[in-house]
Structure 1
């Protein structure tokens, strides 16, 4: 799965720590999601989309390997 979280963070001028505090996860979780090492739960994905005022599909896309 690919994601655009880092791009959205830059647009919203947020650090990983800012985003983590906003959605109540650790900075390490945000880092792992951005690097594709961890897929967030559905509630976390919804919270991310709400912060960036976009759809989950705009943040994440499945790519077959």
Structure 2
């Protein structure tokens, strides 16, 4: 049984103007690992998930979820 882990790595990386390679170098992983994570083709170890959250200085649940994140600008967020 395969369980999906959803993430906001691409969004966080784009907000900071980082390439996949720059993030990978900072985390000590191969740049392709970042691509696999962003596409949901690979679920990170707990250690890597915590390192990614620490790197972006956010709680781990801001980066990762077992449910899809709501789309930005969706009616759930409208006033």
Distance 1:57 1:63 in 2: 11
Q: Pairwise CA RMSD of aligned residues?
A: 1.2
Q: State the match for 2:28 in structure 1.
A: 24
Runs of 4+ in 1 over 2 A off after TM superposition: none
Structure 1 residue 63 displacement after superposition: 2.3
- Distance of 1:30 and 1:63 partners within structure 2: 20
Gaps in structure 2 of 5+ consecutive residues = 69-79
Could you tell me the TM-score, scaled by structure 2's length? Answer: 0.77
Aligned partner of 1:39 in structure 2 is 43
Deviation at 1:12, TM superposition (A): 1.1
Which of structures 1 and 2 has the bigger CA Rg? 2
Higher relative contact order (Cα pairs below 8 Å, separated by 6+ residues): 1
Unaligned 5+ runs, structure 1: none
Alignment TM-score, normalising by the size of structure 1 = 0.93
Count of aligned positions? 64
How many angstroms does 1:58 deviate by? 0.3
The structure with the largest helix share of the pair is: 1
Q: Structure 2 CA distance, aligned partners of 1:44 and 1:55?
A: 13
